[in-house]
Chains A and B, each alone.
Chain A
Amino acid sequence: MNAIKGLLIKDLLQLKSYKRMIIIYMIIFTFFAVSQPHTTGIEITIIIWFAFGFGMFSTAAFSYDEISKSDSYVLTLPTTKKETVISKYILIIASTTIGTILGMAISLIITAIYGQFPDIINLLVVGTGTILVMSFVQSIHICCIYKYGVTKGRILILIMAAIAALLIAATVFTVKNLNMELPYDVSFSNILINFLPIIFIAASSMIYYISYKISYKIYIKKEI
């Protein structure tokens, strides 16, 4: 357990040079949200951007390891390949969760500034839903990094993002051509709404777990 703590401290200390960038990122997006005319979507955007930002910053820990070729050295310490993979997942899950919670907190504040009573359940659904989407993206990203390295992993995730964007654009285009209405204003009036956060968290946990298993299998066979 102490080895995992050591690995996490190593990654966090490496990432400390990103501290200023993260603060600037948060200020820019909060300012952007506050300066927009108040519409329903802006709180959602804030949560997504914060979760995405924090989640992606933490994957930079892989870049530091690759640049310094520290993988080999770390494995000379009293730790195992299993613990090194676990520590990376802890870092990424924790930073995404912190980003989401911060995003939710800022959303709440913005809503309060506009004098509205925040819809906590909707906020929770959006927050956990964001974690679910992030878990999916990051899970594939981490497996790609373990398999192909940081640079190729990044290219693969960009290709995936481009494909996803194309699919969404194609869906929107098709729906519009069929004269259907897009669900811009998502309202969770259904009875399931109270359970959605739990369902999303459970699904995210499952996705991260499967991804961890795959990454570990890749890493254990990898010649470093």
Chain B
Amino acid sequence: MENILEIKNLTKEYDRFKLNNINLNLPKGTIMGFIGENGAGKTTTMKTVLNIVNRDSGSIKVFGKDNIKEEELIKEDIGTVLNDSFLSEYLTPKDINKIMKNFYRTWDEKLYFKYIEHFKLPENKMSKEFSSGMKIKLKIIVALAHHPKLLILDEPTSGLDPIARNEILDLFQEFIQNEEHSILVSSHITSDLEHIADYITLINNGEIVLSKLKDELIEQYGLVKCTEQEFNQIDSNDYIKYRKNRNEYDLLTENKYKFKKKYNIQVIDKPGLDDIMTLYIKGEN
């Protein structure tokens, strides 16, 4: 499958943080959920792809083109939602249309106002008067209105109520119907990613610790719950990480079927993304 985004050996060092040797491929026609703790490096990685943050080394290709050499051309086909940044709140949706049609050759005024109407956003009100949910919807509409091929979304659904979140997720699902499109989305709401993502990439302390098909993770990985006595009998090669709770142990295993065959342990659950993330980050080897 052709990749829409390829990150190779990306490194970026700050005083107290290092994005260390990041490798990541996002195939066409897929959604990749990017998860990790706050400050793990999700936003920095995304901003490096957009050339907002200068990289120290490594290479980034978007649509097969270098993200620095062909920056403007590439950005024509990217729609972005940043968690912490947007246009001034003193602008109205109408103003934003006037601005954006100068940036994008493919800006679709009709589509933009169709979305504005669909989400019941007032055209002539400054966005400072919008609720937080309305502001997020506006960001997403702007990201979609120039027919991008790649969406880079940093926490796009945080602050939305469940109904609005589902509406937005439906938009993303609709977007991905075109096989030339892809989405890289970071979110702390892992249930959203379980709902829409094809791939899950987990970043911790600036390093990618896991990048797999979501179905493989959910279907093959297992969350084993056992007693201390049972835990002591388990070979450490048969689990990835473990965590001791009050009276029991939680183990994350890569293949629950093999595990079941080998050990006589009754409780092996399907892990959620939260379980996988918590065990990878907080668990012990």
Give me the interface of A with B, judged by CB distance under 8 Å: 2-3, 5-6, 9-10, 13-14, 17, 64-65, 67-80, 221, 223-224
Asked whether B86 lies within 8 Å of A80 as measured between CB atoms, the reply is no
State A77–B103 Cα separation when bound (angstroms). 7
Query: Is B104 on the interface with A (CB-CB < 8 A)?
Result: yes
10 A-B residue pairs with CB within 8 Å:
A2-B102, A3-B102, A10-B88, A10-B99, A68-B88, A74-B87, A76-B75, A78-B75, A78-B103, A79-B75
Could you say which of B95, B98, B100, B103 has the most chain A C-beta atoms within 10 Å of its C-beta?
A: B103
**B 226-237 binary contact with A (CB < 8 Å = 1; else 0):** 000000000000
State A224–B80 Cα separation when bound (angstroms). 16
**B 59-88 binary contact with A (CB < 8 Å = 1; else 0):** 000000000000111011010101011111
Query: Is B89 on the interface with A (CB-CB < 8 A)?
Result: yes
Known: A2-B103, A10-B99. A69 touches B90 (CB 8 A): no
Asked whether B88 lies within 8 Å of A65 as measured between CB atoms, the reply is yes
Query: Is B52 on the interface with A (CB-CB < 8 A)?
Result: yes
Q: How many residues of B contact A (CB 8 A)?
A: 32
Asked whether B103 lies within 8 Å of A68 as measured between CB atoms, the reply is no
Which of B51, B87, B89, B95 contacts A75, CB < 8 Å? B51
Known: A5-B102, A6-B100. A69 touches B84 (CB 8 A): yes
Which of B80, B89, B103 contacts A3, CB < 8 Å? B103
* Beta-carbon nearest neighbor of B91 in chain A: A13
Query: Is B138 on the interface with A (CB-CB < 8 A)?
Result: no
Contacts of A223 in B (CB 8 A): 14, 53-54
Query: Is B188 on the interface with A (CB-CB < 8 A)?
Result: no
Asked whether A64 lies within 8 Å of B50 as measured between CB atoms, the reply is no
**B 33-55 binary contact with A (CB < 8 Å = 1; else 0):** 00000000000000100111110
What's the least CB distance linking A162 to chain B, in Å? 31
Known: A10-B87, A13-B98, A14-B91. A72 touches B82 (CB 8 A): yes
State A80–B152 Cα separation when bound (angstroms). 18
Asked whether B85 lies within 8 Å of A9 as measured between CB atoms, the reply is no
State A80–B72 Cα separation when bound (angstroms). 7
Contacts of A17 in B (CB 8 A): 90
What 11 additional pairs, Cβ within 8 angstroms, besides A6-B99, A68-B85?
Answer: A3-B103, A10-B88, A13-B91, A14-B91, A70-B88, A73-B80, A73-B82, A76-B75, A77-B103, A77-B104, A79-B72
